[in-house]
Amino acid sequence: MVRSSSLGYPRIGADREWKKALEAFWAGKLEESEFELQLQEIRLSHLRKQQEKGIDLIPVNDFSYYDHILDTAAMFGIIPERFAFEGSAVPLSVYYGVARGTKDATASEMTKWFNTNYHYIVPELNGASPVITENKPLIAYREAKEKLGIEGKPVIVGPLTFLKLSKGYSASEFDTWLNTLLPLYVQILKELSAEGVQWVQIDEPILVTKLSDADVARLKTIYETFAEAVPGLNIVLQTYFESVDRYADIISLPVKGFGLDFVHGLQGNLEALKTFGFPADKVLGAGVIDGRGIWKASIREKLELVEELTKHVATENLVIQSSSSLLHVPVTTERETKLSSELKNALAYADEKLDELVLITKAIASGTAGVLEEIEQSDRAIQALQQSDERNRSDIQQSVAALNVQQPERSRPFAERHAAQQTKWQLPLFPTTTIGSFPQSAEVRKARQLWRKGEWSNEQYEAFIREQIDIWIKLQEEIGIDVLVHGEFERTDMVEFFGEKLAGFAFTQYGWVQSYGSRCVKPPVIYGDVAFIGEMTVEETKYAQSRTSRPVKGMLTGPITIMNWSFVRDDISREQIAYQLAYALRQEVEALEQAGIGMIQVDEPAVREGLPLKEEEQAGYLAWAVKAFRIATCTVQDTTQIHTHMCYCEFHDMIDSIEAMDADVISIETSRSHGELIHSFELNTYKLGIGLGVYDIHSPRVPSVEEMTAMIERALRVLDPKLFWINPDCGLKTRGLEETVASLRNMVAATQIARDQHAALV
């Protein structure tokens, strides 16, 4: 009998109850016991919802207090030594210390979860002596069974993926660490088996990346060990985000089933299935509903896909599921009352995707006659949006097509531009700047809320924003910053702000998703052709520049980041969407320049997260991502200095593409990875202006002058001092006033030390 399954459910709650509980606990407004009760109720409500909707295999242990990779590390007692963890269950003070840092210890590195906008905490293995602190999957299984009568499916991050995503060991130590962790995984599984657990989902998304022969051998060792230890336990080896590498090797592993992504990995997985077949005695978890996108599925097309799959897999061995965890989509469209019916009818969030899973499962089991109306309804909704005026703007389509005629580039090479810019700006050695945003206090948020509700007039709100700009222009001058920013007090989110001012975007009321920790974002929806409507940032930037003799940077979000941090339409290529965005942003860049703004920062923190997981597709993506950036920035004068910013990623394998963007100055997050990015520049020459973030803005601690001085000096060993800038690693919107000012004062002090030591260069 065909069954339905979910791979994971959003943690945050329909009203972001999870986020609110975490932040209340961190602020000391919630006792730990009450905090635990609140999170339990949120967790159970999610399980209850899946139960009521009729999902057959409901995941447990997918819920987290912060991050599922951090949970796995904590379960094995892998806590960095600097947190003085003494064994047994990891207390919340230590758990959150690893994630967020403490007064005395820096947080662990945070980076992107494959090619998504979710961030995980990177486990640090150096100095660790792994033990089982508590069997988290077993605890979650018992809770679901005892409280709700649910025979849950525990979810565990697999050992190969866990180790591949960890740091603090050499390549030669990989197998030693694997041999250390394997007995612990075996104990977890034995206890689950002894409890009567039927199905266990072991997530190995690393299998969609390139695997070596050694990796395949490790997989064989891992899953043969599990099969021998728990022969009666039904293990599903789950992959997602792409098609698996080494398909023939993977399906020979001794597990009960395999979960494959037939959305983002459709072509590769389907081709492999046709070429190599599928074991007759195994279960196929068919990920046919998109776990990452928000568009309603064509039930007709999904049933056709399932029909194709059943040529290779017996229906009774088929499990209909999402392509990945639903962690990456909002909770429900139910309360989205402000969207046009044309758009809302075409959307599906987590709850609606659960309904689609159940509907497809029902159609396979009982035939399509009973669900014909639902099938036709999905057809109508998709067709209505596709035929809308917003998706068929010939003016935009023709203009963007014309951009493909030649490669966009600045009129002169960087060396000549740099000389002209230095003559114009007369900047000191090691110019200091910030990334763009300054603290958005409760007062700022309240003012915006009053304005949005109509309780403040536009004039009142604009006056308030100017007051904030005045305060921070003065503060930056007092602190000694060389290149200033206006602070972005008028902006809620760096993508949403621009989407609200461009055609082709829609905004939801409840489309929240988790980005990292309690940080939730509400991505815009790019549903139509993107077009420039009018100036978006000129007024505030021009005002800020009028308040100081120092240069003020115009601040824009780049085309690739807007695209990667939005939910995008799926009827045209992402490349075409990027070019539409770039063309619109070019018009804003030109407007800033015409208003007298001679430094313009076009942020692209999300370039790398859009990088395809398949190596053979990466060069093509980077080529059009670079082209989109250059389309947006190439028409300015030689003396106009283009900045960009990137963060939260591994950059060593795309230095050439970063250089090809031809930004005059790039700032890159490096502090949270403890300067490891600098190693990339020890191996690669970089000839453009660059600022490596010298302190972590995501931790509340104030870094010392000595810490930042050490970071600066290491960078100067491998980068041209005459092209080196000094800045924080990211925007300062989420930080408090006092810590921000203290940190920036220390940054300027560290800069002065560096200037004194390198004065001969001036």
Q: How far is residue 136's CA from residue 582's CA, in Å, rounded to a whole number?
A: 46
Q: Is 436 annotated as a binding residue?
A: yes
What is the Cα Rg of the chain in Å? 26
Residue 3 marked as a ligand binder: no
* DSSP track, 134-178: --HHHHHHHHHHHHH----EEEEE-HHHHHHT-BSS-GGGHHHHH
Residue 65 and residue 71 in contact, taking contact as beta carbons nearer than 8 Å = yes
Comparing CA positions, the residue from 676, 674, 646, 649 lying closest to residue 659 is 646
Distance CA 247, CA 269 (A): 8
**Cβ contacts of 292 within 8 Å, gap of 6 or more:** 116, 241, 263, 264, 323, 324, 328, 329
647 is known to lie in a ligand binding site:
yes
- Say if residue 16 carries a ligand binding annotation: yes
437 is in an annotated binding site: yes
Residue partners of 493: CB distance under 8 A and separation at least 6: 521, 522
User: Has 669 been labeled as part of a binding site?
Assistant: yes
Burial category of 620 from C-beta neighbours within 10 Å (exposed 0-12, middle 13-18, buried 19 and up)? exposed
Decide: helix, strand or coil at residue 505.
Answer: strand
* Annotated binding residue 435: yes
User: Is there a binding annotation on residue 117?
Assistant: yes
Q: Which of 27, 62, 66, 22 is nearest to 43 (CA)?
A: 62
Q: 411 a known binding residue?
A: no
Residue tagged active-site, from 486, 643, 698, 758:
698
The closest alpha carbon to 108, from 117, 118, 96, belongs to: 96
Q: Output phi, psi for 405, to 5 deg.
A: -65, -40
645 is in an annotated binding site: yes
User: According to the annotation, is 519 in a ligand binding site?
Assistant: yes
Q: Write down the H helix ranges in 290-388.
A: 299-309, 341-344, 350-366, 372-386
Tell me if residue 418 is catalytic.
no
191 labeled binding residue: no
195 among annotated binding-site residues: no
CA separation for the pair 86, 734 (Å, rounded): 32
Q: Which helix (H) or strand (E) holds 526?
A: strand 525-532
**Annotated binding residue at 68?**
no
| Residue of 259, 256, 257, 269 whose CA lies nearest to 238 | 259
| Residue 344 near residue 382 (C-beta atoms within 8 A) | no
Task: Give the integer Cα–Cα distance in Å for 45 and 564.
Answer: 31
Measuring CA to CA, how many Å separate 34 from each of 24, 60, 65, 300, 755?
11, 22, 14, 47, 52
The answer to whether 515 touches 485, Cβ cutoff 8 Å, is no
501 is annotated as contributing to ligand binding: no
> Would you name the residues annotated as active-site residues?
698
Annotated binding site for L-homocysteine: 435-437, 488, 603
Binding residue numbers: 16-19, 112, 117, 435-437, 488, 519-520, 565, 603, 609, 645, 647, 669, 730
Binding-site annotation: residue ranges for 5-methyltetrahydropteroyltri-L-glutamate: 16-19, 112, 117, 519-520, 565, 609
Known binding site for Zn(2+): residues? Answer: 645, 647, 669, 730
